[in-house]
Amino acid sequence: MASVADQNQPTKKPTLATDQEEEHQDLDFISHLPDEILHTIISKLQIRNAAVTTAVSKRWGPIFPTLPSLNIFAGSFDPFEPRYNQYVRNRIKWVDALFSVLNSRKSAVKKFDIAVALKPDNDDFYEVIRDVCIAGVEELSIKNTSSHSCYETPLSVFNSNTIVKLNICYCTLEVPSKLTGLQSLKSLGLTNVTVEDDDLQRMISWCKAMENLSIIDCFKVKNIVICAPSLSELF
């Protein structure tokens, strides 16, 4: 039974602001989803749009910096560039934006795909791929979209022992005489890659864990002996 003091208390009337706040809390189901599902949702967005989600709320703030996969192509940071354009306007600003994304990371990128016009002297992208490899990437895809030059696969790729899946397209592959990495590699895909028989043969033989191998339209490959004890699929 309510006391006299309770009965004399004025009834708090709902306001438009409190109604909207309660309605927002009831309807914001997405923010209550687990991080894994939010990662899946944000990974479908362009990187520049995905980065904006950090300002949505405190709940969304940590999601983008912990996104396990990044997909980079020519129009990632410049919405006016066609997806497969060979030349990127404001190149320095574009690369700076990419470094900014990587420097804001709160956890390692597990999957990194890059498909842009790469030139042999692209030191910026050598640094990008080096940083990604050092951080512990597990799936790496490097696609050179330039039809005028071949991009040399960075040495950091051969030094990585976290890469499980590696895809290389329109690049040159010069395998170091002494390999120290790629011992965890299970899947290797080479498309339009320029590589000598000896280099390719040495790389395949070194990767004891390799289960899947794809060699498509590679240049200078004439006759190789494939020695891979764990190999189950060859294309």
Please identify which residue in the block is written with the tokens 């991009």: 151
- Bridge partners, 144 (sequence order): 116
Q: In angstroms, rounded to a whole number, what is the distance separating the alpha carbons of residues 201 and 225?
A: 7
Q: In angstroms, rounded to a whole number, what is the distance separating the alpha carbons of residues 190 and 210?
A: 14
pLDDT at residue number 4: 54
pLDDT average, residue stretch 142-147: 89
Q: In angstroms, rounded to a whole number, what is the distance separating the alpha carbons of residues 159 and 122?
A: 19
Confidence of residue 87 (pLDDT cuts 50, 70, 90): very low
pLDDT at residue number 97: 85
pLDDT at residue number 195: 96
What does the mean pLDDT of the chain come to? Answer: 84
Q: In angstroms, rounded to a whole number, what is the distance separating the alpha carbons of residues 206 and 183?
A: 7
CB 157 within 8 A of CB 164: no
Q: In angstroms, rounded to a whole number, what is the distance separating the alpha carbons of residues 77 and 51?
A: 11
Q: How many CB atoms lie within 10 A of CB 145?
A: 18
The CA-based angle 36-40-43, given to 5 degrees, is 130
- Per the model's pLDDT, the better-predicted residue between 52 and 93 turns out to be 52
Strand duo 151-152 + 171-172: pairing: parallel
CATH number of 68-234: 3.80.10
pLDDT average, residue stretch 91-102: 81
CB 105 within 8 A of CB 76: no
pLDDT > 70? residue 89: no
Domain borders along the chain are: 19-66, 68-234
pLDDT > 90? residue 119: no
Instruction: Tell me the pLDDT tens digit for each residue of 150-178.
Output: 899 999 999 999 999 999 999 999 999 99
pLDDT average, residue stretch 58-66: 89
Token reading at 30:
């997405």
Among 46-55, 75-84, 132-141, 213-222, the least confident range: 75-84
